[in-house]
Structure 1
Amino acid sequence: MKPVYTLAEALAKDPSRVAKTQSLTLDSSRPHMGLKGSHGLFASEAWWESIEARRLQTQIVTGSIERTYFAGQDSRRGDQVNSFTLRLADGSTVDESIYTNHKQDTRLFVPGAMVTMVYVLDELKAQPAVDGGVNYARTVLEVAVFTQ
């Protein structure tokens, strides 16, 4: 497995993302927008500690890439991909976006490659979810790819 993405590295390159996310959490004039912040502000030391201590739930998705494709309406080069369909062990499929810290690692996302994605589930201010449960933001923490 080759680690190709960590949220920590991505945030180090884009500190404004942290500031914007934290600001929205703290903005009481927007009671239905942003994260709740129950386990620390996004990407704060308390937030990372909540992940380590498992106070914030994580989710792991592993499977084999079935196909890659370009999703969206922006113009692109013919060989550019930004998404893939992942076949899970139970036979179901999920569509995911390609996350990498270094552009050259995008080439590792090919049909047949195994991918593991780790998400953190952080409660949103807007509650409940459509199904009546807890409404979460699902943020990618890590991505690793195994090619043969």
Structure 2
Amino acid sequence: MKPVYTLAEALAQDPARAAKTQALTLDPSKPYMGLKGSHGLFASDEWWESIKAGRLQTQTLTGCIERTYFAGQDSRRGDQVNSFTLRLADGSTVDESIYTHRKHDIKLFVPGAMVTMVYALDELKAQPAADGGVNVARTVLEVYCVLPPHQPSA
């Protein structure tokens, strides 16, 4: 599988993102907004170590792209897509955004392609979730993609 996105690379390209997320965690005037910070501030060394050590739960989804589409209200050009429906092994589907660092990798996201997405499940300040469970932010850590056998490789 070809790696097309990592949070570490995205944060290196946009360091302000981590700083803004950390500031919201530390802001006592916003008790229902942002991450709780139980396993370290977002993208801090402690946070990454919590992921590595398994203290901060992660989730991995792998499946086959069923369809691609454009989501959102912005105007689009031509056949631009930014989202896809992923069919998982159990037959369920999830809708997800396309994450890549390089625009040319968007062409990897076609029906039939296999995708693996790894998420950090970081607890939010606002608790509990609507279903009574733990309310978490699903932060995309890594995305891998492989074209179906009949497709030319990128």
Kindly report which structure 2 residues correspond to 1:65-104, keeping only aligned pairs within 5 A, or say none: 65-104=65-104
The answer as to 2:136 corresponding to 1:136 is yes
- Cα distance, 1:15 vs. partner? 0.7
**Long gaps (5+) in structure 1:** none
Q: Which runs of 4+ in 1 moved over 3 A?
A: none
- Cα distance, 1:102 vs. partner? 1.0
TM-score by length of 1: 0.99
Match of residue 125 from structure 1: 125
- Cα distance, 1:43 vs. partner? 0.2
Residue 21 of structure 1 aligns to a residue whose secondary structure is: helix
Match of residue 46 from structure 1: 46
String of CA shifts for 1:23-77, please: whole Å, max 9, x gaps. Answer: 0000001000000001100000000000000000000000000110000000111
- Cα distance, 1:78 vs. partner? 1.4
TM-score by length of 2: 0.95
Aligned length: 148
1-structure distance, mates of 2:101, 2:38: 28
The alignment's C-alpha RMSD in Å is 0.5
Q: Percent identity?
A: 82
2-structure distance, mates of 1:29, 1:109: 41
- Cα distance, 1:105 vs. partner? 0.4
**Long gaps (5+) in structure 2:** 150-154
